[in-house]
């Protein structure tokens, strides 16, 4: 094709073409940048919301772990309380040997000497076996009767062999506690 335009118009057309090309190229570049900004903003919003959700899940998991720890502590506390309650009930049912000895010593006549105590604790009953010496059989019998009449003692047993001698009586007495 023959170009019959004057040189001046040719230059103007070239400038106009170059200007349009730059405008189109700039518009394409601007559209590309705007598209990337929009995509990056949507990605940023997605990541921020995901981070918030993850932080919430971590916090709830931490709370769950704390709740499990609290439940475990509550179970241990209940177990200890049950054990203490059982121990207290057992202690209330079991007579104290010190109280029993105190009662024995209160009613012990001066002519009777106790040389040994043996404590027996069974599942259903507690016993004290004591051995000693009495100056007379009558003093020993008074001591046995006092033991039988005492509220701390359920049953008092003395072997017949302990009652054979009249004086200097060696004895053994078994007392069942209430």
User: Quick check: 4 pLDDT over 90?
Assistant: no
104-137 pLDDT tens trace = 888 888 889 999 988 888 777 888 899 999 998 8
Against a cut of 0.75, is the pTM above it?
no
Work out the end-to-end distance of the chain between its first and last CA atoms, rounded to an integer number of angstroms.
135
Q: What's the token pair of residue 119?
A: 């404590």
DSSP 115: E
Cross-strand pairs, 117: 130
Number of domains in the chain: 2
Query: Do the domain assignments include residue 17?
Result: yes
Identify the domain containing residue 19 by its residue range: 7-93
What confidence tier does 8 reach under pLDDT thresholds 50, 70, 90?
A: very high
Query: Do the domain assignments include residue 1?
Result: no
13-54 pLDDT tens trace = 999 999 999 999 999 999 999 999 999 999 999 999 999 999
Residues 70 and 136 occupy one common structural domain = no
Q: What's the token pair of residue 14?
A: 């070239």
Domain boundary among 93, 109, 144: 93
Residues 118 and 73 occupy one common structural domain = no
64-91 pLDDT tens trace = 778 888 889 999 999 999 999 988 887 7
The rounded distance, in Å, linking the Cα atoms of 118 and 100 is: 12
Question: Cβ(172)–Cβ(133) under 8 Å?
Answer: no
Residue 65, pLDDT score:
76
The rounded distance, in Å, linking the Cα atoms of 167 and 7 is: 162
Residues 80 and 121 occupy one common structural domain = no
Q: Environment class of residue 48 by beta-carbon count within 10 Å: exposed (0-12), middle (13-18) or buried (19+)?
A: exposed
Q: Environment class of residue 171 by beta-carbon count within 10 Å: exposed (0-12), middle (13-18) or buried (19+)?
A: buried
Element (H, E) at 144: helix 137-149
Query: Do the domain assignments include residue 139?
Result: yes
Beta strands in the chain (DSSP E): 112-121, 126-136, 153-157, 167-177
Residue 95, pLDDT score:
62
Query: Do the domain assignments include residue 149?
Result: yes
User: Can you tell me which residue has the tokens 């019959």?
Assistant: 4
Q: What's the token pair of residue 15?
A: 């400038």
């Amino acid at each position: 094709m023959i170009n019959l335009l004057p040189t001046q118009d040719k230059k103007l057309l070239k400038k106009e073409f170059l200007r349009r090309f730059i405008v189109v190229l700039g518009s394409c570049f601007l559209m590309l940048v705007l598209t990337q900004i929009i995509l990056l903003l949507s990605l940023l919003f997605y990541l921020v919301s995901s981070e918030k959700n993850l932080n919430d899940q971590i916090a709830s998991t931490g709370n769950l772990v704390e709740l499990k720890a609290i439940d475990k502590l509550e179970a241990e506390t209940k177990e200890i309380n049950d054990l203490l309650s059982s121990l207290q009930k057992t202690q209330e049912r079991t007579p104290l040997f010190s109280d029993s000895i105190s009662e024995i010593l209160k009613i012990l006549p001066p002519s009777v000497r106790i040389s040994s105590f043996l404590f027996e604790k069974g599942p259903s009953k507690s016993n004290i076996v004591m051995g000693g010496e009495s100056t007379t059989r009558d003093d020993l019998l008074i001591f046995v009767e006092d033991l039988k009449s005492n509220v701390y003692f359920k049953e008092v047993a003395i072997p017949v062999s302990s009652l054979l001698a009249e004086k200097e009586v060696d004895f053994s007495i078994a007392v069942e506690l209430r």
